[in-house]
Amino acid sequence: MIHDTFYSLKPYHPHEPGLNDIIFSFQNKQVLVRKDRSFFEYRDICDSVHCTYLFETGSLSFYLADLSSIDHICLSLQQLRTYEPRWLGFAAILAWQLYTWIDANQYCGHDGKLMHMDMQERALRCDACNRLIYPTLSPAVIVGVIHNGRILVTRYSAQHSSYSHDALVAGYAEAGETIEETVKREVKEETGLDVSDIVYYRSQPWPFSSSLLFGFFCHVSGSSQIHLDRNELKTAEWKSRTDAIDTADDSSLTHEMIEVFQKGLVH
């Protein structure tokens, strides 16, 4: 998965950038890079450019700045899914998640005052009312539903998502429910199936949607007849271990779970 080679984040510790530190700049869903597709370093920018500390991992720190005046090209978020080295592509996507959080919370929702980055923890603080806003993180599930040696593979409807490749049942947790209850509800809502024997597989941070994904495998309990929610899904069908399944690339938890099923490591 895309984050597997990413170094663990170090404790939040804002400081001035060093010459080799990475500076990210975004325009909508694109990241600004050098013409050779590498990311800008602090040595590339002038001292007058304001840099906002984001995080530190390995031997590098990462910052946010407006580099639109510097000669650049743009890469889309989708291109970052397979960017090499992979850990640096994930760092850029994580930076984009923090960029969108900062951009959406420039003013305090309580008194309308400007927010600023806190120096003690990764949060935005309002000096007027001392309100703290933390980065958005939405828990969600990816569900491998198995029945008689086959796995349930879906495709999203066009009105629900622009992702046009194969996927598994997925959805966000709601307030007041456990993550296992989310599994049951999402499978029932999207396909009409009841499931049991829910087993946790592993998790994945997914900055594209500010999510933390929890992967589960489970089995059908009762009828295997699919009743499709066409507002969410275009198709849902049972696939065997030898059937072709198209997940676009190997960056996602969905891809790994399907691969685990195809190798016969889950039953």
Give the pLDDT of residue 6: 86
| CB neighbour class for 179 (10 Å; exposed up to 12, middle 13-18, buried from 19) | middle
**Low pLDDT (below 50) residues in the chain:** none
pLDDT in tens, 204-258: 999 999 999 999 999 999 999 999 999 889 999 999 999 999 998 999 999 999 9
- How far the first Cα of the chain sits from its last, in Å, is 22
Report the distance separating Cα 182 and Cα 152, nearest Å.
Answer: 17
| Residue carrying structure tokens 């990462």 | 62
Residue 85 φ/ψ, nearest 5 degrees: -70, 150
Give the pLDDT of residue 162: 76
Which residues 6+ apart lie within 8 Å of 164 measured at CB?
A: 155, 156
Give the pLDDT of residue 47: 79
Give the pLDDT of residue 163: 76
pTM across the whole model: 0.93
Give the pLDDT of residue 184: 98
Q: Is the dihedral of CA 164, 166, 169, 175 positive or negative?
A: negative
> In the CATH scheme, what is the homologous superfamily, with its name and number, of domain 138-262?
Nucleoside Triphosphate Pyrophosphohydrolase (3.90.79.10)
Give the pLDDT of residue 267: 87
Give the pLDDT of residue 75: 98
Residue ranges per structural domain of the chain: 22-104, 138-262
